[in-house]
Amino acid sequence: MAIVKAMEAGQKQNPQSLVVIGGGYIGVEVASAALGWISDGLLEKVTIINMDKMLMQRVFSSAPEFPTFIEDRLKEQGKGKLEILNGCPIKGFEKDILGKVISVELANERSIPADIIVLGMGAKANTTFMPDKVKDARGYIKVDSSFSFAPDAYAFGDCASFPLDGKPSVLEHVAHARASAKHAALSAMGKTKGAYTLLPFFYSRILEYTDAPLIWNMWVTWTFSPHPNLQ
Q: What is the pLDDT, as a whole number, of residue 227?
A: 39
What are the pLDDT digits (tens) for 67-119? 999 999 999 999 899 999 999 999 999 999 999 999 999 999 999 999 999 99
Confidence label for 13 from pLDDT (cuts 50, 70 and 90): low
Tell me the DSSP string of the chain.
-HHHHHHHTSBTTB-EEEEEE--SHHHHHHHHHHHHHHHTTSEEEEEEEESSSSTTHHHHTT-THHHHHHHHHHHHHHTTSEEEEES--EEEEEE-TTS-EEEEEETTS-EEE-SEEEE--------TTS-GGGB-TTSPEE--TTSEEETTEE--GGGEEEEETTEEE----HHHHHHHHHHHHHHHTT---S------EEEEEE-TTSSS-EEEEEEEE--SSSS-EE-
Q: What is the pLDDT, as a whole number, of residue 55?
A: 95
Q: What is the pLDDT, as a whole number, of residue 114?
A: 94
- Please, what is the average pLDDT of the chain? 86
Q: Which domains does the chain have, with CATH numbers?
A: 2-122 (3.50.50.60), 132-188 (no CATH)
